[in-house]
């Protein structure tokens, strides 16, 4: 367990360094790190400190938030298919963010963007819990997610449809595909407080999620407060996913892929899966963000698109496995 976390920390550190060193400017590694640490070489230092460092930081933060939220949602709903992107939380957060952008609220007041995204995410989590119930089977959870995603997509289309400015529309559409390109420290500071709050809340659910393996009644008889656990999962997920979506757009499948891959290494324990998934999510998003820069360096390939290519086949595989298990 400790060894797994150590290995994951090393992987995240390596990918973080790689993310700092890959980019169109083409500096040498020694020159880049020197500029980053000492500030020598003005242009290089500027690129390193104002473009690549915030991009790498956001990659790690967004990945950790999405991985952690996925693991917590799966643990709470006791369903390996629950994921912020698939059950409509990311798209609802995107809806909130787009409303803040289109109404000019985000321009008037910087925290409006993450707050609006958080509100969108909160509504979606509440709806999923309400529709699927904490005991909801795979089918109910996925159906609730489809309904919420469809509603969020319709409302997003409506906002874009009614938008008076065609440039803002195309910008928003690209933003929604999810990307870490051209982000600055403003985005880091905007998202960090909400993410940290979400991480703390989700970290506090570990023992409760372990107990919930036995069902709600058994968990309750072990001295666990289910209302407190539910509140922590709802608010923690909304804060983490809302802030991620506000700065990076909708990036799906991280919360599905990472817990699925890491579950065997923590003996299936949902509590131990939380820190592992946070680190795994950071590694996956950093790796994908390096990949988009290497695959098509001059076409601005979107991170959300790459993640969907990785995640969707795995999702199909999981559905196939679930079907076989219940057949």
**Site for other proteins, rule CB under 8 A:** 78, 207, 210-215, 217-218, 220-225, 263, 267-270
CB closer to other proteins, 178 vs 208: 208
CB closer to other proteins, 55 vs 263: 263
CB closer to other proteins, 4 vs 192: 4
CB closer to other proteins, 163 vs 213: 213
Both tokens of 207, joined, read: 């023992």
Place of tokens 């209302």: 227
Min CB(196)–other proteins separation in Å: 19
Burial 116-154 (b: 16+ CB within 10 A, else e): bbbbbbbbbbebbbebbeeebebebbbebbeebbebbee
Both tokens of 70, joined, read: 């996925």
Min CB(78)–other proteins separation in Å: 4
How far out from the chain centre does Cα 115 lie? 16
How many whole angstroms separate alpha carbon 319 and alpha carbon 310?
A: 15
Both tokens of 299, joined, read: 């076409």
Min CB(218)–other proteins separation in Å: 6
Min CB(76)–other proteins separation in Å: 10
Min CB(318)–other proteins separation in Å: 14
Residue by residue, DSSP assigns 158-180 as HHHHH-S-HHHHHHHHHHHT---
Q: Where are the alpha helices (DSSP H) in the chain?
A: 2-21, 29-38, 42-47, 53-77, 89-102, 105-108, 112-132, 138-162, 166-176, 185-203, 206-212, 216-221, 226-248, 254-262, 270-295, 303-326
CB closer to other proteins, 84 vs 271: 271
Both tokens of 103, joined, read: 């109404």
3-class SS at 24?
coil
Find the length of the chain: 327
Min CB(80)–other proteins separation in Å: 9
CB closer to other proteins, 78 vs 293: 78
Min CB(143)–other proteins separation in Å: 20
Q: Name residues whose C-beta falls within 8 Å of residue 271's C-beta, 6 or more positions apart in sequence.
A: 75, 205, 206, 207, 208, 209, 210
CB closer to other proteins, 123 vs 219: 219
How far out from the chain centre does Cα 37 lie? 29
Min CB(272)–other proteins separation in Å: 9
CB closer to other proteins, 2 vs 161: 2
């Amino acid at each position: 367990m400790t060894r797994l976390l150590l290995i994951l920390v090393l992987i995240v550190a390596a990918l973080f360094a790689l993310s700092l060193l890959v980019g169109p400017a083409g500096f040498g590694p020694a020159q880049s790190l020197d500029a980053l640490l000492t500030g020598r070489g003005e242009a290089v230092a500027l690129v390193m400190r104002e473009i690549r460092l915030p991009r790498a930081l956001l990659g790690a933060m967004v990945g950790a938030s999405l991985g952690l939220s996925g693991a917590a949602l799966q643990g709470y709903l006791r369903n390996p298919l629950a994921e912020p992107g698939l059950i409509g939380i990311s798209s609802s957060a995107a809806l909130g963010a787009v409303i803040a952008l289109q109404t000019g609220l985000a321009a008037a007041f910087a925290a409006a963007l993450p707050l609006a995204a958080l509100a969108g995410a909160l509504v979606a989590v509440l709806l999923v819990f309400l529709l699927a119930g904490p005991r909801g089977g795979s089918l109910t959870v996925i159906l609730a997610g489809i309904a919420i995603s469809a509603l969020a997509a319709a409302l997003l289309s409506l906002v874009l449809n009614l938008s008076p400015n065609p440039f803002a529309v195309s910008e928003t559409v690209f933003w929604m595909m999810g990307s870490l390109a051209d982000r600055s420290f403003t985005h880091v500071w905007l998202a960090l407080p909400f993410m940290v709050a979400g991480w703390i809340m989700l970290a506090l659910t570990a023992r409760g999620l372990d107990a919930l393996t036995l069902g709600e009644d058994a968990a309750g008889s072990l001295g666990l407060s289910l209302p407190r656990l539910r509140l922590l999962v709802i608010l923690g997920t909304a804060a983490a996913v809302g802030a991620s979506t506000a700065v990076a757009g909708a990036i799906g499948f991280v919360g599905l892929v990472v817990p699925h891959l890491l579950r065997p290494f923590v003996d299936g324990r949902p509590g131990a899966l939380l820190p592992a998934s946070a680190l795994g999510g950071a590694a996956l998003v950093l790796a994908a963000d390096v990949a988009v820069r290497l695959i098509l360096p001059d076409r601005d390939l979107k991170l959300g698109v790459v993640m969907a290519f990785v995640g969707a086949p795995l999702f199909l595989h999981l559905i196939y496995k679930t079907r076989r298990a219940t057949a």
